[in-house]
Amino acid sequence: MESVTNSTEPIIYLGPFQGITDVFYRNLFRQYFGGIDKYYTPFFTGFVNFSAGRARISEIDPDLNDVETTVPQILSKDAEEIIHFAEQCKVLGYSEINWNLGCPYPRVANKKRGSGLLSHPDIIESIFSKMNGNLALGLGVKCRLGYLSVDEFENLLPVFNNFPLTELTVHARIGKQLYKGSVYESAFVHLIGKTKANLVYNGDVFSVKDYNHFNETFESVHYWMIGRGLLANPFLAMEMKGLCRLDDSQKKETVRKFMHELFQIRLKNANGNLSSLGRMKELWSYLVWSFDSPLTAWRLIRKARNLDEYESAVNEVFSTLGWKGFGFESDRSW
């Protein structure tokens, strides 16, 4: 295993993924793994009429979530919606929400939401202006370096600095990239020391080797949000902090138990609906990269058309393939 070279323990957040990092995933992750300091929910949207008293949705229900370490996220371009969401989250006991300005997918961005708003700093500034003094709790932002170009951040930075954000998480790509190509390391370096809020790095941390590289490049950054890297290797945060003492066979067995329990919980919650199978496959599309033959693992999993076939495929993966824990490879070919 690659050794960790930093002298300061990193503060690590589990990034949100729609359809994957739901409340069931997050709670089981706490039980089986470690190293995470904050968990972010997949984004909420269209909650102008949401009432915490009437609709204690499982994703933010305080009976199911640790409000001290869970941050509800909202995708919106409506200041009133964000204000209302913040009020309801405060009622539930939360102290912070996160505004998603990073979602890159065209169906979102083309509507000037998510990263699509980054080309319009005037709109973001107007939303901040309406929220200023009206938010019931703290607000963090998760964004990209821009939507069309990293040059867009030059106009975004003063807008972000003029609002009292709790933190600014930057995925070091532009929206148009989706998750393709390389991160813009030099553009992120340019931000260090220039943000009033705590700067959080996000993007392409798939292994301890990756973390060591970015940690040396971004010397004064101590906050890290990891998404795909943790979906592929759930031990990654522990490895980054030097907390993992399991060998590869023990890791594989731990992951096997985790995946089995997650599937059973999702099946129960969906009343046996096959939608649970699709959600598990989505998670597996990342997890396969920690096995010694990712393509073999994925061929077995993706062919499963019903619950029996899925369980048979999972058993074959865990019984015939080894755990390497390398993590996700961004340039996968399928």
Summarised one tens digit per residue, pLDDT across range 55-67 is 458 999 999 999 9
- Residue 129 CA to residue 83 CA, distance in Å, equals 12
Q: What percent of the chain has pLDDT over 70?
A: 93
288, 298 contact by CB (below 8 A): yes
pLDDT of residue 326: 77
pLDDT of residue 329: 58
Q: H helices within 162-247, ranges in order?
A: 185-189, 208-217, 228-232, 236-240
Residue 45 CA from chain centroid, whole number: 17
What would the two tokens of residue 300 be?
């077995």
pLDDT of residue 333: 43
**Average per-residue pLDDT in the chain?**
93
- Residue 290 CA to residue 56 CA, distance in Å, equals 36
pLDDT (mean) for 107-120? 97
- Give which of 265, 261, 266, 259 is closest to 318, Cα–Cα: 259
Q: Is the pLDDT of residue 47 over 90?
A: no
**How many Cα atoms sit within 13 Å of 200 on the Cβ side?**
25
Q: Is the pLDDT of residue 190 over 50?
A: yes
Q: Is the pLDDT of residue 7 over 60?
A: no
User: 319: buried, middle or exposed (CB in 10 Å: 19+, 13-18, 0-12)?
Assistant: exposed
- Residue 192 CA to residue 1 CA, distance in Å, equals 30
Q: Strand, helix or coil at 195?
A: coil
What does CATH list as the number for 11-240? 3.20.20.70
Q: Is the pLDDT of residue 226 over 80?
A: yes
Measured CA distances, 200 to 64, 68, 184, 225 (Å): 26, 19, 15, 7
Q: Is the pLDDT of residue 126 over 70?
A: yes
- Give which of 32, 15, 14 is closest to 265, Cα–Cα: 32
Three-class SS of 63-96? CCCCCCCEEEEECCCCHHHHHHHHHHHHHCCCCE
pLDDT of residue 273: 79
Higher pLDDT, 111 or 333: 111
Strand partners, 323: 291
- Per-residue pLDDT band for 270 (boundaries 50, 70, 90) equals confident
186, 307 contact by CB (below 8 A): no
Contacts of 323 (CB under 8 A, 6+ apart): 248, 249, 251, 252, 255, 290, 291, 292
Summarised one tens digit per residue, pLDDT across range 52-101 is 555 458 999 999 999 999 999 999 999 999 999 999 999 999 999 999 99
Detail the DSSP E strand segments found in the chain: 11-14, 38-44, 70-74, 96-101, 138-144, 167-171, 198-202, 223-226
- Give which of 135, 125, 119, 34 is closest to 82, Cα–Cα: 135
Summarised one tens digit per residue, pLDDT across range 153-175 is 999 999 999 999 999 999 999 99
Q: Return the amino acid letter for 44.
A: F
Backbone torsions φ then ψ of 57, nearest 5 degrees = -60, 140
**How many Cα atoms sit within 13 Å of 327 on the Cβ side?**
22
**Any idea what the Cα angle at residue 19 is, between residues 18 and 24, rounded to 5°?**
110
Q: Strand, helix or coil at 315?
A: helix
